Amino acid sequence: MAEPCPESFHLERDEQHGDRCRGNSSWTCPAGCVATGDPSFHCCSLSNFRCAGPCRAEHGCLGPGRYALPMMQTNAANASDCQRRCTELDGCSLITFWPLPGDCHLHPSGAPFHKDTAGASLCGPGRCEGAESSSSPPSNHHLVPSWALPLRVVGSRLVGQDQQSYQLACVNWYGAHMEMLVNDGVNVKGLAQIAADIVKLQAFNCVRLPYSLDSLNLSAAEIPQRFSSLCHNPELQAATPLEIFDATVEALTDAGLLIVLNHHVFHRGWCCSADDGEGLWYTEDYQESTWLQHLSFMATRYRANARVVGLDLKNEIRSTEEITPSWGTGDLTSDWARAARLGTQRVLQADPEMLVVISGLEYSMYLCRVPDAPLHLEFRSHIIYTSHEYDWYLSPPQFLQSRAFEASALFLASMLMGLLGALGVLALVAWRPRLSSKVACPRAARACGRPFRCRLVTQAGANQRQSPF
């Protein structure tokens, strides 16, 4: 029976958080297989202070070893996922699975067997006896197939290499841009398992991954509370934020999901506000040149991964205390169209197949100036504009209440003035309150520069009505 901890590690009992193996240094790994996201994996050996391979198999009918002459090689989130892939492939009867790095080989019956004394791989039948079966296994038709990549923009559609239209249904996976420097949830599940769970929802084919520029900088090499925040991903406990981000991207794309990288903030932390100093594509600490260099870096880093399909240049361009962003004005400090053009050039120089996502003005709410400087005509087949919708930003209940109060006060004042003036005839003038663009849609007039319409939502689920102003 395998020891619960690697050599030179001692067992540390913890009923609340789970037993851990602690070495002479501060590095730890989970005891047994409780905290890796894969029951076939046990932190038994170390390589560069990371878990390196399983030392025992506890996965039903699977055992240590491997088969030769695979009929197909793919990736799987875990051994069960590898078995499922075998059941979906005609002629597959046997599997070989390597928990690190998640390689899955599918074999026909009669494939030659080889012992694996190191215990790095598991093998066995494509389905264990007594395992639950289903006449209709989960379908992954919602995922974009690899042969359709890269995608390109044609008018208002995304078109694949197979000439089919696709939609990006992206879920936002929060966390890597925050102070903890890792995506939320990796303290309770392994990366591969989270990716598999997203696929199982059959609602998303894409993940939007926000990041902060400083978190990916090599100087930010220490993960706060790394043992607890990465307890279900022990192989990453000694990794840098950038390496963890790499592993996150790899786990998601190995599961068949697409990735849209999102430059969320410069300094790690929550976004967004008018006074956080993060509203533009540069800050007091990061010049425009640094922003452009980082775009080249990110596009180059993931160029080999075809499922990293897009890069969002900057999240929610908005006014700062000194500068109001513009579009197509030519101003070096405020023209977002000029900066987005430079950013797009840098991205496409590094990866000519990448889609470029460009934010609208004022929290990504307004795109009305795009016709004045249409970047999609300059970079055909690459540009996606993004707009965000916030009911609280357009028409909070407090604004509607204040307008109603002002309307009542004005009516009463008009009646009182008429009486005090002792006028013989009271001219009754129909008065209709007008919404103030300065209050209802902050900075909208400057963003658009001409009359526009703003949607008013009185309550959730209520009928909407349009009011021009």
* % of the chain surpassing 90 pLDDT: 30
C-beta of residue 400 within 8 angstroms of C-beta of residue 462:
no
Distance CA 27, CA 238 (A): 8
Distance CA 94, CA 63 (A): 12
Residues of the chain with CATH 3.20.20.80: 146-388
pLDDT score of 40? 38
**DSSP string covering 422-434, please?**
T-SS---------
Residue 84 carries which side chain, given as an amino acid letter?
R
- Each residue of 216-252: pLDDT tens digit? 764 555 777 777 777 778 778 778 888 889 999 999 9
pLDDT score of 315? 92
Residue 197 vs residue 410, higher pLDDT: 197
Could you tell me the pLDDT band of residue 334, with boundaries at 50, 70 and 90? very high
Residue 329 carries which side chain, given as an amino acid letter?
T
Residue 447 pLDDT exceeds 60: no
Handedness of CA 459, 460, 464, 469 (dihedral sign): positive
C-beta of residue 8 within 8 angstroms of C-beta of residue 24:
yes
pLDDT score of 365? 85
Distance CA 212, CA 222 (A): 15
- Region 364-375: mean pLDDT is 89
**Strand ranges in 308-390 using DSSP code E only, listed in sequence order:** 308-312, 355-359, 383-386
Residue 7 pLDDT exceeds 60: no
Distance CA 165, CA 167 (A): 7
**CATH classification number, 63-125, choose in 3.40.190.10, 1.10.287.370, 3.40.50.300, 3.50.4.10:** 3.50.4.10
Q: Which of 289-298, 362-371, 420-429 has the lowest mean pLDDT?
A: 420-429
Q: Which two tokens stand for residue 460?
A: 């959730």
Name the average pLDDT for the chain: 75
> In which residue are the tokens 């993940």 written?
207
The secondary structure element, H or E, covering residue 94 is strand 94-98
Residues of the chain with CATH 3.50.4.10: 63-125
Cα within 13 Å of Cα(69), Cβ side: 8
Q: Which two tokens stand for residue 169?
A: 């249904």
- Each residue of 180-216: pLDDT tens digit? 788 888 887 888 889 999 998 999 999 999 998 888 7
- Each residue of 125-153: pLDDT tens digit? 888 765 444 434 456 788 998 889 999 99
Q: Which two tokens stand for residue 277?
A: 């100093």
- Each residue of 280-322: pLDDT tens digit? 999 988 899 999 999 999 999 999 999 999 999 999 998 888 8
Distance CA 87, CA 98 (A): 18
Span 146-388: which CATH code?
Answer: 3.20.20.80
- DSSP state, residue 373: S
pLDDT score of 198? 93
Could you tell me the pLDDT band of residue 54, with boundaries at 50, 70 and 90? very low
**DSSP string covering 275-303, please?**
TSS-SSS--SSS-HHHHHHHHHHHHHHTT
φ/ψ of residue 345, rounded to 5: -60, -45
